[in-house]
């Protein structure tokens, strides 16, 4: 009995994640989510009090996993190049699962002050940036990169990773390509990005 209760809560969360972040229906109503989950609309309020609470919950769950993976990579003792490659892999992998999560963050972060998106713990922010700056300097000295500020490096990397998902429909529309061709482009993406960021790739 008790397990069923948890099951329903889990079912609602998973359905919500799918509807919100996989299908891109960021403004789905509680009724739509209830229908998709095959449960009563009131159950959503029973478990989560409000639509917003449900949304916050699944949003945090969906981003936390990503953030901790990134943190593992950053602090895993990898080389600069390895770290970059793993970041790109992780980012693409996660985006394949929740293509619209990034989009939500981009859209709502300005209206919803509750959303905080730190790439690294605030305490380590300065430190991490400094480390990246050194890494870049070394790479430049070795002819593996052109000079670039840490901020621009991160922005460029995130740009190259994010946009293919953020702009999925723009791309499909602009190139008149189907799902299969789009997936092929995504699969090739990591190599393209690395080649753009590193001269010796």
Partner DNA sequence: AATGAATGAGGCTTCATTCAT
Partner DNA sequence: TATGAATGAAGCCTCATTCAT
Residues that bind a copy of itself (CB under 8 A): 24-27, 102-103, 105-107, 109-111, 115-119, 122, 125, 146, 148, 151-152, 154-156, 158-160, 162-164, 166-171, 173-176, 185, 188-189, 192-193, 195-197, 199
Segments in the chain forming alpha helices (H): 2-17, 30-37, 41-48, 51-74, 80-97, 101-108, 122-141, 150-166, 168-175, 179-197
Q: Which does 137 bind (CB under 5 to 8 A by kind): DNA, a copy of itself, none?
A: none
Q: Which of 20, 21, 47, 100 binds DNA (CB under 7 A)?
A: 47
Could you tell me the smallest distance in angstroms from the CB atom of residue 199 to a copy of itself?
Answer: 8
Cα radius of gyration rounded to whole Å, the chain: 20
* Residue 33 Rama label (left phi>0; alpha psi -120 to 50; beta): alpha
128 binds DNA (CB under 7 A): no
Among DNA, a copy of itself, none, what does residue 6 contact (CB within 5–8 Å per kind)?
Answer: DNA
Q: Which residue has the tokens 């600069």?
A: 80
What is the rounded CA–CA span in Å between residue 59 and residue 26?
11
- 43 near DNA (CB under 7 A): yes
CA distances 52 to 28, 90, 153, 169, Å, are 12, 28, 35, 27
CB 47 within 8 A of CB 9: yes
187 binds, among DNA, a copy of itself, none (CB under 5 to 8 A by kind): none
Query: 6, 56, 11: which is closest to 34 by C-alpha?
Result: 11
Is 33 or 193 the residue whose CB approaches a copy of itself more closely?
Answer: 193
CB of 116 vs DNA, minimal distance in Å = 21
Residue 155, interface with DNA (CB under 7 A)? no
* Binder of residue 145, out of a copy of itself, DNA, none (CB less than 5 to 8 A by kind): none
- Both tokens assigned to 150: 């840490």
The option from a copy of itself, DNA, none interacting with 52 (CB < 5 to 8 A, set by class) reads DNA
Interface with DNA by CB under 7 A: which residues? Answer: 1-2, 4-9, 29-31, 39-47, 49-52
């Amino acid at each position: 009995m008790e397990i069923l209760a948890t099951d329903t809560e889990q079912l609602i969360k998973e359905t919500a994640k799918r509807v919100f972040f996989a299908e891109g229906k960021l403004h789905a109503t509680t009724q739509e989510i209830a229908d998709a989950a095959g449960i009563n609309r009131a159950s959503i309020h029973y478990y989560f009090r409000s639509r917003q609470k449900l949304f916050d919950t699944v949003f945090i769950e969906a981003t936390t996993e990503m953030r901790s993976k990134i943190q593992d990579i950053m602090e895993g003792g990898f080389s600069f190049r390895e770290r970059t490659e793993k970041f790109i892999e992780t980012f693409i992998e996660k985006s394949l699962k929740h293509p619209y999560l990034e989009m939500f963050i981009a859209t709502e972060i300005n209206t919803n002050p509750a959303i905080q998106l730190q790439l690294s713990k605030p305490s380590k922010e300065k430190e991490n940036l400094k480390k990246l700056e050194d890494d870049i300097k070394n790479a430049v000295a070795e002819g593996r990169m052109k000079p670039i500020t840490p901020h621009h490096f991160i922005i460029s990397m995130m740009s190259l990773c994010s946009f293919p998902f953020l702009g999925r429909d723009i791309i499909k529309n602009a190139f008149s390509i189907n799902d299969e061709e789009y997936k092929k482009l995504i699969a090739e993406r990591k190599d393209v990005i690395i080649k753009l960021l590193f001269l010796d790739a």
